[in-house]
Structure 1
Amino acid sequence: MNIVVMVVAVLLSLAALGTIYRIAKGPSLLDRVIAADVLLAIFGAALATEMALNQHLGNMALLVVLTVIGFVGSVTVARFAVHRKEDG
């Protein structure tokens, strides 16, 4: 189990680093917003991994809130991008 945890931790860390790089260097605002949403999903995966490792559900409410925030943020940005494309 320790090997699996280490592999998951390394993969999530590399994904977070790549996402943070995209937030910093993204060529457009839409790229940065999508990267922020991906970073939120990575945090959710890390929370779920921690809960599975320690066999508890203490952070379930936080995981649900993160998921809802990510969904609402993505839908809001998509609607904004569509309206902006129609205007231009």
Structure 2
Amino acid sequence: MSSLLHNVVWLCMVINSISIIMLLYRAIKGPSNPDRAVAIDTIGVNLISMTGLVAIQLSTIRLNDVILLIGILTFIATVAIAKFLEKGVIIDRSRD
């Protein structure tokens, strides 16, 4: 791998790590629940990008499945959080 690409990937990983740390603070101390939900969703996007950067660093395509898995889990978590914020429950159990 060229030296320029190595340096750019390393710089992007550092900036991404700082972003994740700031988003963790927002997810814990957020002023409202929707702010926390957006922070958690953005952490998922940053994890996807970090995995992509690691795949570039290692020159492999074997991490593509991990990227897809993180994307699916992030989407499911976002839908669950949105449903909880709207209705107060995640699983509706109607007792007839």
TM-score between both structures, scaled by the size of structure 1: 0.79
% identical equivalent positions:
21
* Alpha-carbon distance between aligned partners in 2 of 1:50 and 1:2, rounded to the nearest angstrom: 11
Q: Which runs of 5+ in 2 are unaligned?
A: 89-96
Shift of 1:79: 3.9
Q: Is the aligned partner of 1:25 residue 2:29? A: yes
Shift of 1:22: 0.2
Q: Which runs of 5+ in 1 are unaligned?
A: none
User: Counterpart amino acid of 1:44?
Assistant: I
What's the Cα RMSD here? 1.7
TM-score between both structures, scaled by the size of structure 2: 0.73
Match of 1:75 in 2: 79
Alignment size in residue pairs: 84
Question: Where has structure 1 moved over 4 Å in runs of 4 or more?
Answer: none
